[in-house]
Structure 1
Amino acid sequence: MIALHPLLEDIARRYPPGVARAEAADNDAAQLVQLMRHLRPARGEPTEQREGRIRLLIDVLRSRPQLAAGLREYLSSLLAARNHFFVYAESGILGNTGFFTELRQRIGNRLLPPALDPRFLRDLIEEVFEHSDDAEWLASTPRELWAELLHTIGFSTETPTAGQIQIRKEMCESLRVLTVRLAALGLEPDLVRYYPALSEYESPFLAQQREFETVIVSMQGALLGESDEWPDSAHADVLLQQCCDALVRIRKLSHEAGAAVRLSWHLTRAFQIIERMREMLALLMPSPREERVQIAFDFFFYLVKAECRRHSVRELVTSVTDLLSLQVTEHASKTGEHYVTRDRSEFYAMFRAAAGAGIIVGFMALIKMLIAMLHLPPLWEALGFSLNYGLGFVLVHLLGFTIATKQPAMTAATLAAALDPRKHGTSRVEEMSELIVQVCRSQFIAIAGNVLLAFLTSLGIAYAWVQIFGVPAASVEKARSMLHDLHPLFSMALPHAAIAGVCLFLSGLVTGYYDNKAIYNRVPDRLRRVRWLRRLLGEVRLERLAVYVEHNLGALAGNFIFGFMLGCMGTLGFLLGLPLDIRHVTFGAANLAYGLQALDFQVFWTEALVCAVGVILIGMTNLAVSFSLAMNVALKSRRVRFSDTKGLLRLLLRRFVRRPRDFFWPPKEAKVKEVQALEE
């Protein structure tokens, strides 16, 4: 523990009251760093001990006024000697460099922290509050205790110190710079594109700059004592609110026209600038002392938090990508609505779509075996596997079929959209439970169609292969290897199934991203302008192509990239020396059929049963991993907490006990109302 009395005596000796700063001030923050280390709590320290040290400092300063005066002069000299601009105008506000430039800078600063510059207040805050959690314990300490400490030091007197005067002057200049930056942001092409009225009529972004200039000039005169009249900032507040309304409207319009990192960057930065301008205006304008003190503490704690996280990569990504992730999951949720069956006609249609996909997977599994028999170099083998998967999944989509394991990444976004309080006001637990029941039976019938038809198709192909070529499609060694890879205990089947689940989740994000990109970049409209396509296809066919791309670009890209994820995973594991591979439930069912037929079903029934159980567990792992990851991202993007689903699990359990059949088979149309009445 740092000795408190000698530290305060040293400060008082170096900064005696009444001595000109040119004689005593050396802008050295070493004593302040030592004082903060004395006050900073240890990890896990009780609150009473932390507050006790602050009370001890207050008692010492009260008992020896010369120490309080010396500390006041020291802090005042530090504030007066530093440049405050970067703290007020930039701390906690995204820069104008762009996302990727800022990301590179932060990564570089994390690896090699920048040198401290004694000219700037920002570097003083970083030097004094050297721990990343300093802002948390500062904010958790009672404000009354901090206010009492400042009063004891002498910062609450009517006569402002040199440091306090410097704060006011710097705030006024920083406020002037922020008004100019906000005006420039209002003219950004990305914002004007969504809201053309910003350039067609009197823009509030430009009007606020002119109004604030008048307010700032009058306010500087009042702060310096040149005038007794304070300006009226009511109109400035109205213009700031109009700017906020325009930004909110642009956010809403971006839901329909797509979003990009650059747009999210500009919107986030504009909201941050407006909030900072409101805070500084509240601090500069006259108001009740208690209210101004609370605002000042909140402002200071936020600045400390921003400086502690100035080089945080995670903070940057979280603050910028909220709109983009919402857009990606928003488009994924619209896709997921197609995977929810509500009645028996949709239920049967889902089975037919899944069955069609199972037939194609049977042929894809055969092609993969044939590629493996060629014993190509690793790179070419990975390319062959990837093209087989990718083109096969694209064909599944083009024919209107469905792969069951791709549904969770989409339906999770649909479930999160149903829970979004911003869209529905409150969480609709009853409707949510019905949607979950529909998703469960949709997923059940889709897996049943995939697995059943993949097994039967592969079995038929295997027997046809024997009749045509006289030998099984798979050798005995290959057949035993395929069966071993399905064993849930003696192989890596389940970990590899989890890897496939991660790939399924990523493919869902890719689908939403490209759907958003198609709208934001207006890909269909740009396709219509390609002259050689118009000459080749004609107006009618080109229009059909543009409409198809608008609604299916994300699905096509997601399926193709998902195929490459699966095809390259084994080769990536080989190159890295890691046990990386994938297991997919539909391909597992196909491999089970090829393996059993190649062995002429000469296996113990227990072995066949264990392999069948392995296929089921692979499917459950695929679904659990992809759904949980997708649900987590979807809920975070909509700022929905799991606590918002309170009562949902209880309602689902009651529904399962009373009508378990609804989770696997849709009720008749006449019984839908009975089910709803039962829930009520």
Structure 2
Amino acid sequence: MNDIVQILEQIKTRPEERSATALLDMIRALRPGKKEEAGAALLRVKALITLLRGHPPFAEALRSYLDCVFASRLQRNLFANLGILGNEGIARALAHRLGAKILPPAYDDTYLGDLFGALTHEIGDTAWIAEIPEETIAELLGVIQLGAGARVPARIRMGVELLEALRILSFRLAAIGVEPDFLRYDSRAARRESPFVAQTEEVQNFVTEALRALDDADTPWPDTRHLDVLLEQCDAQLKRIRQRAHQGGASIALTYEGLRASQIIARMRQITELASPDTSQLQQTRKIRFFRDLMHFEAEKSSLTALLTQATDLVALQITEHASRTGEHYVTSNRTEYFAMFRAAAGAGLIVAVMALLKIFIAKAHLPPLWQAVAFSLNYGLGFIVVHLFHFTIATKQPAMTAATIAASLGEDKGKAPSLAKLENLVVDVIRSQFIAIVGNVVFAFLACLAIGASWIWLFGAPQIDAAKAHLLLHEIDPLASLALPHAAIAGVCLYLSGLISGYYDNKCVYARIPQRIRQLRWLARAFGEARRERIATYIENNLGALAGNFLFGCMLGSIGTVGFMLGWPLDIRHVTFSAANDAYALIALNFKLPWQAIALCGVGVLAIACVNLLVSFSLALYTALKSRQIRFAHTRPLFGRILRRLLRHPGDFVLPPRAERSAPPDTTA
């Protein structure tokens, strides 16, 4: 405490000093060291309270000093900017923060925001501030009597600055509300006065009356009910825009501006409460929480990680919204859908058998690396498009979609405990659908490859591949002697990315109104007729995302091995259906003349590759979908317990749908 006493002595000699040096020194003295135990800062703050109580001149000098430091600086920018997205957009914000890392912005002593940044930098890790209870901070402020009384100049100055910040935020909100993208999704606002615009006049009236009330103690504080109604209308309009954007697509800019508008509305509500000359304990608590929030925002203001997280959340939200709708088609809940899924998966297995055969012939051509990558990519990409055109199903494409469906189900219950019974049924349906799709893909790809291989030997007298190539194919799916599982994880990442690509192009198709624009192509109608033009537009509307995702997924699978070769890295992919196909071609080429242990190990390898493919893609997709919706699911253990009990009681539900829909037990958790 000796350092704090010296600082207080210094303040006592010059209580009207506006320099923040003494304040920074005091924070440095209160801040715990890296090796100190938790609670050290709280002990110092309590000791400071005791010291100030025992020496009233110190308390009075500290109050005068803090009043001068805060009142002598412009505060409105701090209240109107910190914690609210800027109008510069994600790209410019990223460039600005990168520049600030290299060359920090100049400190301007005129603004409280710059001082606040210096204070937060001096505080360092804000965790120790968060550990100090609000009651202790309120007790310290009570001893100092900082801003005590409604007519204290420092309190009046803060009230004025809060009101000016409210005025700034009001104009910014109005500007967002008349953006073309906003008006596109709310035609009523284009035909009549928007609440985003109407609130500016109400804010002007409120600020004028509030300034008069701060200047004259006899003037009552203005009523905020009309302003509250207008802000509620702004919130309702934002909600309508979001709902329509989910159906009609949205740009990142629209999502960004919507989030920014929500932040501005929340801050305006906060300021109308804080600007009041109310001196109650509740008002003091509000101000403490407000400044704590500002401290947290200041700590993240220059964080590249925070900005990138925010940007990826905006992108992922738009993508996963459309992926979740696609995922609904990959979940079966009855036997009709279940066997339809099996037939679709079986058809895809037959096409994969042909694709695997074509890849073997492409590899035999010994093309230059670049052209080989192009050939492999076209083989995969066009093959997956054929799978989609025939309405078949690749099992490993499911997790990226079904994960988004689960997240969307959780999002419906955001703000309250989710229905565990509903989630249990959904997860069981997803597992069962995934199981039958894998069975259809792998079994029919394996059998088709055996048939093709045997027919080839019967027709040409020799297998498609020699013994060396056959052993190489078997080695590549060996889970113990090769990099099969890491390569399967890479394939899982590609599957996850293909889901994002599909969602992106689905959103792009709707937002850019591509089908409507196709319907306006007169040359297309002249060439094919209006009926065919309409069918083309409808097909693009329903399938653009799937076509793009499938083709680019094939390009990823076909080019990663070549990229690894060119970089000298052990990069490659292992996809379960292709692995099963290669296994079959290798076994038929060797006439099954292998130890049964080797054949069994290949089967285990295919199963392991399937598990890694699905686990990686599902985990990444579910994480992205939950994060984009800002869902923190805290019911993992109860849900896992329910699913485990379901497995023990009704294991058949995970393999075959029950003839009658089985009701999950009701939720017993609060």
TM-score where L is the length of structure 2? 0.94
Which of 214, 220, 223 is equivalent to 2:214?
Answer: 223
Q: 2:351 corresponds to which letter in structure 1?
A: I
The match for 2:292 is 301
Partners of 1:2 and 1:34 within 8 A in 2: no
Mean CA deviation greater in 520-529 or 635-644: 635-644
| 2:431 matches 1:440 | yes
The match for 2:248 is 257
Matched positions, count: 667
1:448 and 1:424, CA in 2 relative to 1: closer, same or farther beyond 3 A? farther
Mean CA deviation greater in 379-388 or 270-279: 379-388
SS in 1 for 2:478: coil
Compute the displacement of 1:557 (Å): 1.0
Q: 2:3 corresponds to which letter in structure 1?
A: A
The match for 2:447 is 456
Give distance in 1, aligned partners of 2:102 and 2:551: 36
1:656 and 1:226, CA in 2 relative to 1: closer, same or farther beyond 3 A? closer
Q: 1:334 corresponds to which letter in structure 2?
A: R
Compute the displacement of 1:228 (Å): 2.6
User: 1:315-394 counterparts in 2 under 5 A?
Assistant: 315-319=306-310, 322=313, 324-394=315-385
Mean CA deviation greater in 270-279 or 156-165: 156-165
| 2:635 matches 1:626 | no
Partners of 2:66 and 2:146 within 8 A in 1: no
Q: Cα deviation per residue 1:323-373 (whole Å; 9 max; x = unaligned)?
A: 653342232222122222233332222221111111111111122222222
1:422 and 1:99, CA in 2 relative to 1: closer, same or farther beyond 3 A? same
Partners of 1:86 and 1:122 within 8 A in 2: yes
Compute the displacement of 1:251 (Å): 1.5
**Gapped regions of structure 1 (runs ≥ 5):** 18-23
Q: 1:379 corresponds to which letter in structure 2?
A: L
| 2:57 matches 1:66 | yes
SS in 1 for 2:345: helix
Give distance in 2, aligned partners of 1:132 and 1:631: 36
The match for 2:628 is 637
User: 1:381-530 counterparts in 2 under 5 A?
Assistant: 381-422=372-413, 427-530=418-521
Q: 1:254 corresponds to which letter in structure 2?
A: A
Runs (4 or more) in structure 1 with deviation over 6 Å come to: 677-680
| 2:586 matches 1:595 | yes
Q: Cα deviation per residue 1:109-130 (whole Å; 9 max; x = unaligned)?
A: 3454333332322221111111
Partners of 2:28 and 2:122 within 8 A in 1: no
1:306 and 1:9, CA in 2 relative to 1: closer, same or farther beyond 3 A? same
1:248 and 1:77, CA in 2 relative to 1: closer, same or farther beyond 3 A? same
| 2:558 matches 1:571 | no
Q: 1:580 corresponds to which letter in structure 2?
A: L
Q: 1:4 corresponds to which letter in structure 2?
A: I
Q: Cα deviation per residue 1:60-80 (whole Å; 9 max; x = unaligned)?
A: 223333333332333233223
Partners of 1:178 and 1:273 within 8 A in 2: yes
SS in 2 for 1:129: helix
1:520 and 1:596, CA in 2 relative to 1: closer, same or farther beyond 3 A? same
Give me the identity figure in percent.
49
Q: 1:210 corresponds to which letter in structure 2?
A: E
Q: Cα deviation per residue 1:661-680 (whole Å; 9 max; x = unaligned)?
A: 2211233x3xx15x438999
The match for 2:606 is 615
Give distance in 1, aligned partners of 2:528 and 2:239: 41
SS in 1 for 2:332: coil
Give distance in 1, aligned partners of 2:438 and 2:425: 20
| 2:3 matches 1:7 | no
SS in 1 for 2:79: helix
Q: 2:464 corresponds to which letter in structure 1?
A: A
Compute the displacement of 1:47 (Å): 4.7
| 2:178 matches 1:191 | no
Q: Cα deviation per residue 1:215-273 (whole Å; 9 max; x = unaligned)?
A: 11121122233863432222122211111111122122222112221111111111111
Give distance in 1, aligned partners of 2:290 and 2:12: 28
Q: 1:7 corresponds to which letter in structure 2?
A: I
Partners of 1:394 and 1:560 within 8 A in 2: yes
Q: 2:7 corresponds to which letter in structure 1?
A: L
Give distance in 2, aligned partners of 1:325 and 1:51: 41
Q: 1:450 corresponds to which letter in structure 2?
A: N
1:418 and 1:159, CA in 2 relative to 1: closer, same or farther beyond 3 A? closer
The match for 2:204 is 213
Give distance in 2, aligned partners of 1:238 and 1:480: 74
Partners of 1:2 and 1:37 within 8 A in 2: no
The match for 2:267 is 276
Give distance in 2, aligned partners of 1:87 and 1:389: 55
SS in 2 for 1:232: coil
Partners of 2:333 and 2:657 within 8 A in 1: yes
SS in 1 for 2:634: helix
Q: 1:601 corresponds to which letter in structure 2?
A: F
Q: State the Cα RMSD in Å.
A: 2.5
Q: Cα deviation per residue 1:399-436 (whole Å; 9 max; x = unaligned)?
A: 11110111111112222333334379752322332332
Compute the displacement of 1:274 (Å): 1.1
SS in 2 for 1:287: coil
1:218 and 1:343, CA in 2 relative to 1: closer, same or farther beyond 3 A? closer
Which of 657, 663, 666 is equivalent to 1:676?
Answer: 663
Q: 1:676 corresponds to which letter in structure 2?
A: S
**Gapped regions of structure 2 (runs ≥ 5):** none
The match for 1:33 is 24
SS in 1 for 2:110: coil
The match for 1:144 is 135
Compute the displacement of 1:98 (Å): 1.6
